[in-house]
Amino acid sequence: MRKIEKEMLRAINERTNWRKDNTEVRVIILDGNTISQVFLHGNHIADFVHSPQWGVGWNEANRDTLARWPTPTTKSRLRALGVNLTQKAGVISIDGEVVCHV
């Protein structure tokens, strides 16, 4: 995992706004949940939802952004977030569901 990804995860865990180079974390509150939005080059690539009700969090990848920009950096950031992203024979999938072909 790259240093910038470790810093991104630290910001998410601490629920703080953060920016470095091409990566940014913006924290918002929505319906009682804290959401860390992750951006790459200004494009929203994922949300990490911190749920006080459940005591755990989960990630939601922005599949549209991944389909438009299936770059190694986008895939690396999503994997660092724990997204189950695979690529095989030019097909990118999340949790076994096809997102795009490259």
Cα separation, 90 vs 20, whole angstroms: 30
Residue 1, pLDDT score: 82
Rounded to the nearest 5 degrees, what angle is found at the Cα of 30, between the Cα atoms of 41 and 11?
45
Whether 74 has a pLDDT exceeding 70, the answer reads yes
Using 50, 70 and 90 to split pLDDT, how confident is the model at 53? Answer: low
d(CA 96, CA 46): 18
**Model confidence band, residue 60 (pLDDT cutoffs 50, 70, 90):** very high
Give the domain extent around 10.
3-101
- pTM for the model stands at 0.92
pLDDT of residue 70: 97
Tally the domains of the chain: 1
